Amino acid sequence: MEYNKLPGTDIEVSKICLGTMTWGRQNSESEAFEQMDYSLDKGVNFFDTAELYPVPATPDRYADTERIIGNWLESRKTRDKIVLASKIAGPGDYTAHIRKTGFKGNSIEEAINGSLERLKTDYIDLYQLHWPERATNYFGKRGFEYIEDGWNDNFREILETLKKIVDSGKVRHVGLSNENPWGIMKYLEYSKEGLPKMITIQNPYSLLNRLFEVGSAEICKRENVGLLAYSPLGFGVLSGKYRNGNMPENSRLKLFSNLARFSNDKCFKATDLYHDIAMKYDISLTQMSLAFVNDRPFVTSNIIGATSMDQLRENINSINLKLSKEIIAEINSVNEKIPNPAP
């Protein structure tokens, strides 16, 4: 395994981060335990979760993923071996069963206390805002369209609340998720006033969605913020399992039709072209796709997710694949032809 430091800290995290959002829905607790055992044995010391998980989020399974991780940490006595990240759910109808206050009032403190109890720990290494409160483009919305949503700038208020939590020792560092360049920079500006710095940004990034490169990648390099890339396989599309019209049973696109942003015709066409490159160089499409993300200079860690142990093994093993300049050039050529088909 290879490691990077969380920006501005001495905390080393594996370049492969274990994603957990299927645990408690597509994966049982025993399967999740097996994944965590194997990952830790292979040097993966960075786990990412959220109070929202498992996905899709429903009231009856609220925060079950955190409970599973907490049970594992207690059972294995491994808290000191894991860099643990979680998130507070953003506002909206989708999360009305969690809370309706967004990040206002005591919501962040209540959320962190709930996560700590479920995770059976007294601190979280990285605590993230799952998505913005304001109406903006994220979760598959490609362009920004201004909507009068009644939102007032509360960046400072959020950071002041987070400072209290960091000072209390419940959280070591803070980060963002599904945020855009304007939001990242606003938080960074306020951090100069003695408030916590958002040291990471968790956004989608893959061969099917390189939009992060347009504005946010430069911020990462110049402001020392790390990308935690999620959906590096485009919800499994870049594994190639959906090629030629296949729709495997129990696969995410089969189970959850709302993930359509990864299953349009351009996504499948681009995937076929990437598959051709992988076959030309005798490597798997999955590992080529992950290896591309692993070594981008603005990526701190690549969040992989798996529903089977075979998938997990292949995903983690991508750390051993280094793509040549020739392969990168051919990948970039496909991206020029079909840029960012998944928003």
Q: For residues 96 and 1, give the distance between their C-alpha atoms in angstroms, rounded to a whole number.
A: 39
Q: For residues 197 and 296, give the distance between their C-alpha atoms in angstroms, rounded to a whole number.
A: 22
H helix and E strand count, the chain:
11, 10
Q: For residues 135 and 82, give the distance between their C-alpha atoms in angstroms, rounded to a whole number.
A: 34
Between strands 226-230 and 198-204, the pairing is: parallel
Which residue, 178, 198, 170, 173, is CA-closest to 114? 170
Peptide bond into 56 cis (omega under 30): yes
- CB atoms under 10 Å from CB of 266, counted, come to 13
Which residue, 198, 337, 200, 343, is CA-closest to 272? 337
- CB atoms under 10 Å from CB of 88, counted, come to 28
Q: For residues 42 and 238, give the distance between their C-alpha atoms in angstroms, rounded to a whole number.
A: 23
Q: Enter the tokens of residue 203.
A: 């956004």
- CA geometry: angle 30, 129, 165, nearest 5 deg: 95
φ, ψ for residue 17, nearest 5 deg = -110, 140
Greatest pairwise CA separation for the chain in angstroms? 56
Question: What would you report as the CA-atom Rg of the chain, rounded to the nearest whole angstrom?
Answer: 19
Which positions are catalytic? Answer: 53
